[in-house]
Structure 1
């Protein structure tokens, strides 16, 4: 009887073990057949059975099952988070795998699938304007794939939408630490966050980093200028630019930046000279052509504005001012026309040219530009 009992116990034990291994195998099979409820039922049984609860493979299958559930867009309002369960199962599988029976490739694939599921969940929530949920899953996905810069960008943007400054700063700081060079906005946001927190040194450091990566970004340029102006150091930024130009005299961007700086310092002659140097390096440089044309155009506009304020009996004085206007408008025109030739769809260029042609009586040119503006939806 002992032998029969022992045999029975052994047989039962083997049978039970096989039954539970069968649950793991069945879960894998049901996932492949997309019968996820049955897959979940089988794997949930397997992870609590004594014979399979300590097997790394059991939890790898659980990762597979719950990741598939997470990716099933037809499932709504679940009373559990499949991504969280899959993530915890992956950690458990790694803890149990002391013999390294799980291949590195399988671990990598499981991590990638979880990352993709988290990313898709975040994107789906974002499209529904559920920004709190989107933030949760973008953060999770970035933990699974720390090298994906798009996730840090998404995380920061979503965090900003719900005014989660801590998460926004953390995400954008990750990008800044990676010298992210695709979007200057992250440096603007970090600068504002640090400035508003009273972290002057941190704000200055991130602004300088942003400026080094995006030297022509107007916002960063102006903020740096304002920072030095507030410190009474307007000469610092000009000095920095001149030193950079001395080291790299053929750099049109540096000359252009110097022009913008002088313009913000209300030094139009110096600004014009810098823009012209940029154009000597590259005559087809749109930004320099436009800025120089706009500089002269604004000066012309100021002249005619003052002329229009003269009393009606000041005819001679008005005529003198009008001639000054025409001369200055004539200086602006070739640069704006060059900018137009480079980018005929730029609205600011078209508006400036329309105004000049209107005031200088160039009717045919005015009609052409006016039609193009209307075509753009003025």
Structure 2
């Protein structure tokens, strides 16, 4: 978070008021006292002083002589924005003072034709943003995730390029069970091409699959991800799993076939092609388990089908292992295949390789 910026108030020539305008003069004096003292002292003392100065500006902006005073409105923005930031106890008061600060800022900006109070107004604006952010963090820490999401969203509306707040909004939304809100904000962060873009896309897809249970939307997100990260094995692997779950094996194998043709030495593509057959075999095995023991003919037919699928997976797994001998996921798959086929020799050799890798 940006630190509290309460700069020494600079009085522009155009905002100089005559001695009769005592409310503005008192407000300015109070502001100077506040800046000179230790702002880390008792919160109540800080707020009392700031409220005193704000009261002076209340009177100044209704006085005929000072209601259009740039200095009065700038001081008003400074006092109220400081209260909004410093009052960490009373959220309602913080929000109320934030609104006053925003109104004062808007008025001061229309009066500041020459930009003489530009820095002071910018400081007040920073205080407002930090006040909102502080409330969001406090809500999150209290596990009031719905409120935190609302507050972080408010910040993004004020600062539409603040990637950290979109990320905060996404995290808070997910914690609140607002999964669509989480996806929307994570995708917004990705649009800024941040270093974490890939991981956020994977998180988006995981939310769509696990929380929203929407494979169609997840596949669309994977297509978007593959435009940004062509042929990335993480996205291709997830896409393969979705196609298998949906029973669209042909689509998966067609996609992987193109990738293998493009890069036949990419071990992960060979492995995933093996998976398309092996996972079909597991589905057949589940069918067989549920079968009535008396249905011998059907049982044997399923066994034949399962064995054929496992045999089809084997060449791809072996090729993957050849290309990447240290890939434990491939060795695990081969061990399972050899176990099913009662191929003791290859099973033991594969297990030995796997055990050696896992000891390192």
86-95 or 136-145, which moves further after superposition? 86-95
Q: Unaligned regions of 5+ residues in structure 2, if any? A: 1-16, 40-45, 282-308
- The answer to whether the 8 A contact 2:265-2:323 is kept is yes
Distance (whole Å) between structure 1 residues aligned to residue 321 and residue 127 of structure 2: 51
1:39 & 1:72 partners in 2: Cα distance?
Answer: 10
> What is the CA–CA distance in structure 2 between the aligned matches of 1:176 and 1:329, rounded to whole Å?
46
Deviation at 1:39, TM superposition (A): 1.7
Deviation at 1:131, TM superposition (A): 1.7
Q: CA RMSD in A?
A: 3.9
Deviation per CA, 1:41-70, whole angstroms, max 9, x where unpaired?
Answer: 212431534444444554444444344334
1:15 aligns with 2:10: no
- Tell me the distance in 1 between the aligned counterparts of 2:206 and 2:24: 57
Q: Which residue of structure 1 aligns with residue 142 of structure 2? A: 128
| Alpha carbons of structure 1 residues 115 and 85: separation in structure 2 relative to 1, 3 Å | same
Partner of 2:48: 37
Q: Considering Cα pairs closer than 8 Å and 6+ residues apart, tell me whether 1 or 2 has the greater RCO.
A: 2
Secondary structure, aligned partner of 2:222: helix
Tell which deviates more after alignment, 152-161 or 208-217: 208-217
- What is the aligned residue count? 300
Aligned equivalents of 1:66, 1:173: Cα separation in 2: 35
Match of 1:296 in 2: 334
Q: Aligned residue for 1:171?
A: 185
Unpaired segments ≥5 residues, structure 1: 1-12, 304-320, 342-378
Matches within 5 A, 1:143-292: 143-165=157-179, 167-178=181-192, 180-183=197-200, 184-190=202-208, 200=216, 202-210=217-225, 215-217=232-234, 221-222=237-238, 225-227=241-243, 230=246, 233-249=248-264, 251-266=266-281, 267-268=309-310, 271=313, 273-278=315-320, 280-284=322-326, 289-292=327-330
The 3-state SS of whatever aligns with 2:129 is: helix
Q: Is the 8 A contact 1:153 1:175 kept in 2?
A: yes
The verdict on how the C-alpha distance between 1:21 and 1:67 changes in structure 2, with shifts beyond 3 A counting, is: same
Q: Does 1:142 align with 2:153?
A: no
Question: TM-score normalized by structure 2?
Answer: 0.65
Q: Quickly say closer, same or farther: Cα 1:194–1:175, change in 2 above 3 A.
A: farther
Q: Is the 8 A contact 1:67 1:113 kept in 2?
A: yes
Is contact 2:82-2:127 (8 Å) kept?
A: no
C-alpha contact (below 8 Å) 1:142/1:152 kept by paired residues: yes
- Cα 1:259–1:57 change in 2 (3 A) is farther
CA contact (8 A) 1:67 1:86 kept: yes
